[in-house]
Chain A
């Protein structure tokens, strides 16, 4: 709870996004066109859905570096199964089960074997990408076969003039919000992220909760993957070894979900997504080199964190954790 007159990181980032948007709108002729705005939100939706997945894990004091790799491989596999003539629903089912299974293994390694999440999921990401490329399909890019056409609507269709991915992003956000606020599992997840020792003593099923958070992230990740594949009618598995997963983390951290766990919620993901989405889109229109974009992203993240610390200093008293 912030005192009056103090801005939270969430509000700062939201302000930045609005400023940036206004700046681009004035400076870049192509920015405010309907086409570009739709394109922007569509691409941002996928980042946002992944942000929700990552956000849930980070709130539970974990991190899922295998998120993007798993998404790419399980969806690419789904596409190649469809290509091979398997019925759509069955192919999607297999891809989903694979994704959930890997998520559960992630959770099991983190919760029961007690490997730090950052290492467990880093290794899992590499494993999944290598496994997929070697055993499941031959090419880097798997195209959406004609039989998969019904899926295209999820990525390219519109409903009442608004692209479908935006509805899906909204839906995932709503689901995440309700889960964190009203579901028993969501409460458990927050308690584990906040203070795992206290959660354990209170009788929260700590380990199953950790497994659940990785399963959830793989589920939402799979959804994001289907939307991605539907938008561009293909899945480029090289995204698994790109820095895309760090963009997702950027969204989460920038939005104000602390890596120390327990803090923040879905609103933070939305705000972070907005800023990063606007930024990436604007930079692409300006034709800024990819490497320079990384510099800018890094500077933005540092700036946001620094401003947050200046505006909201850690309380001298609580930092000392003594009495007054």
Chain B
């Protein structure tokens, strides 16, 4: 059988540095093909070559066995290859239907016409999205549906998804999986990049693993298990170290009550919630996206604007506090480590050393009005070593590092501020497998050192592995508390969704 899409001996170099090296990738008609690998393994570059976003330095792309030239994404789309990005490419200020018909052959549309056509079309795909709704008002899952609908509308025979489930809630993920099944039954071939191995095992027909820009293995999914994939991805077995049996782990006893939040309310996101955090302990907060967990943390750390604050009390060491901006919170030792480091995590025009030193200055650690270059470099050396950051030296720019190393810099910038309470929001999002283990160990060490640690995550194994106490957040409230050593995934998930 001729594969519908093939990359033969593809190589892509950026400034002479190969991102993908001599990779051959085949996609059969009607199959779901998972593409796995650590960050920087070359997955995105590979799919971008297939979708005409970048041109291979050498090698060729074949459609139905015939070599083709795909100079632009729109050329690829004409030939039936669509790519759905993690960050959506929809126009937020247009409606759903307008987005679907945006790049249509027909240049002018009647609004009513496309709303009716859009309604029928979305229904035929069984998507519950209002075609007249503004895209900016949609949730992540719905946006993705619109992207997919647009791809299907263009008669895409191949749809490539770049981390489609990263921003979805479990419920939306289920919808996505059933959607993939439906697309497959229509004969559409699907490539999807993912960091979630369970998903790959669950929905794919074949799996390809890449590492360091090279093809490692391709086989039918039934030939893989979690262990085998991880080994192929990292070249070593990390699984136990990463998500070991949490049952064997002893939980840390609670120290002093550092933070106590009572009846906190904020808009619709946080509703009359109460919780606390203790020194020397990791408090895991599990909740689905939209459950108010991030917002509650941001209110505590003064990150959210004050006019959204509707009442309640926050106590730090029993003393009532209310921060209008993050600065006094930082000075009091409450540090929030963001879930979105690209938007609010680091300074991209500054070096590693400058980033970390800025944290030290703003945190009040260095009181002098002038910068000491020597101190700055020493600080950078200290933290690069302590967190095992892979960079040439402190003068490297943060933007040039991999996701995991960027995260380590954001963490280092927080830790130089000497936190008493540190809140990690999705500490391992977009971080490669090797760095996840390191960050987890680091978080454990912080708690051992007596710092009150709060970890917010929507990844259950992470919560279970790290937490001494687990709080479950649902619809803006902390609804349940568990002992970290004596609970399991189902119990927590049950509390989070009901």
A324 surroundings in chain B (CB, below 8 A):
14, 19, 39-42, 44-45, 213
Question: Complex Cα distance A199/B354, Å?
Answer: 12
B362 surroundings in chain A (CB, below 8 A):
188, 191, 199, 202-205
User: By the criterion CB–CB under 8 Å, are A195 and B347 in contact?
Assistant: yes
User: By the criterion CB–CB under 8 Å, are A201 and B346 in contact?
Assistant: no
Question: Complex Cα distance A322/B413, Å?
Answer: 23
Would you call A200 an interface residue if the criterion is a C-beta within 8 Å of the partner chain's C-beta atoms?
yes
Would you call A22 an interface residue if the criterion is a C-beta within 8 Å of the partner chain's C-beta atoms?
no
User: By the criterion CB–CB under 8 Å, are B344 and A197 in contact?
Assistant: yes
User: By the criterion CB–CB under 8 Å, are B326 and A263 in contact?
Assistant: no
Which residue of B342, B373, B399, B417 is within 8 Å of A203 (Cβ)?
Answer: B417
Would you call B87 an interface residue if the criterion is a C-beta within 8 Å of the partner chain's C-beta atoms?
yes
User: By the criterion CB–CB under 8 Å, are B15 and A3 in contact?
Assistant: yes
Q: Which of B93-101, B105-113, B363-371, B490-498 lies at the interface?
A: B363-371
Q: Which of B24-32, B125-133, B218-226, B330-338 lies at the interface?
A: B330-338
B87 surroundings in chain A (CB, below 8 A):
321-322
**B316 shortest CB reach to chain A, Å:** 15
Question: Complex Cα distance A323/B166, Å?
Answer: 14
| Closest chain B residue to A184, Cβ basis | B369
Question: Residues 260-282 of chain A: 1 if any B CB is under 8 Å from the residue's CB, otherwise 0?
Answer: 00110000000000000000000
Known contacts A198-B344, A324-B45: A204-B358 contact under CB 8 Å: yes
Would you call B246 an interface residue if the criterion is a C-beta within 8 Å of the partner chain's C-beta atoms?
no
Would you call A297 an interface residue if the criterion is a C-beta within 8 Å of the partner chain's C-beta atoms?
no
Q: Which of A63-71, A247-255, A311-319 lies at the interface?
A: A311-319
| Closest chain B residue to A262, Cβ basis | B349
| Closest chain B residue to A318, Cβ basis | B399
**A317 shortest CB reach to chain B, Å:** 6
Question: Complex Cα distance A186/B430, Å?
Answer: 32
Question: Residues 177-201 of chain A: 1 if any B CB is under 8 Å from the residue's CB, otherwise 0?
Answer: 0000111111110110011011111
Which one of B44, B327, B345, B369 has the highest number of Cβ atoms from chain A below 10 Å of its Cβ? B327
Would you call A35 an interface residue if the criterion is a C-beta within 8 Å of the partner chain's C-beta atoms?
no
Would you call B137 an interface residue if the criterion is a C-beta within 8 Å of the partner chain's C-beta atoms?
no
**A5 shortest CB reach to chain B, Å:** 10
| Closest chain A residue to B20, Cβ basis | A324
B358 surroundings in chain A (CB, below 8 A):
187-188, 191, 199, 202, 204
Would you call A295 an interface residue if the criterion is a C-beta within 8 Å of the partner chain's C-beta atoms?
no
**B41 shortest CB reach to chain A, Å:** 8
**B331 shortest CB reach to chain A, Å:** 7
Would you call A292 an interface residue if the criterion is a C-beta within 8 Å of the partner chain's C-beta atoms?
no
User: By the criterion CB–CB under 8 Å, are B343 and A197 in contact?
Assistant: yes
| Closest chain A residue to B19, Cβ basis | A324
Would you call B54 an interface residue if the criterion is a C-beta within 8 Å of the partner chain's C-beta atoms?
yes
User: By the criterion CB–CB under 8 Å, are B14 and A315 in contact?
Assistant: yes
B301 surroundings in chain A (CB, below 8 A):
201
Question: Complex Cα distance A217/B362, Å?
Answer: 23
**A259 shortest CB reach to chain B, Å:** 13
B368 surroundings in chain A (CB, below 8 A):
184
User: By the criterion CB–CB under 8 Å, are A317 and B371 in contact?
Assistant: no
A315 surroundings in chain B (CB, below 8 A):
14
B43 surroundings in chain A (CB, below 8 A):
323
A187 surroundings in chain B (CB, below 8 A):
354, 357-358, 361, 371
Question: Complex Cα distance A206/B373, Å?
Answer: 23
**B152 shortest CB reach to chain A, Å:** 23
Question: Complex Cα distance A183/B361, Å?
Answer: 11
Would you call B164 an interface residue if the criterion is a C-beta within 8 Å of the partner chain's C-beta atoms?
no
User: By the criterion CB–CB under 8 Å, are A201 and B53 in contact?
Assistant: no
Would you call A320 an interface residue if the criterion is a C-beta within 8 Å of the partner chain's C-beta atoms?
yes
User: By the criterion CB–CB under 8 Å, are A320 and B53 in contact?
Assistant: yes
B373 surroundings in chain A (CB, below 8 A):
182
Ranked nearest first, the 7 interchain pairs of A and B with the lowest CB-CB distance are A203-B330, A197-B344, A203-B362, A262-B349, A194-B347, A324-B19, A323-B39
A-B contact pairs, 7 of them (CB 8 A): A184-B370, A195-B348, A202-B362, A203-B330, A205-B362, A316-B14, A317-B19
Given A187-B357, A206-B325, 12 more pairs with CB closer than 8 A: A1-B397, A187-B358, A190-B349, A198-B347, A202-B363, A203-B326, A203-B359, A262-B349, A263-B349, A322-B44, A324-B39, A324-B42
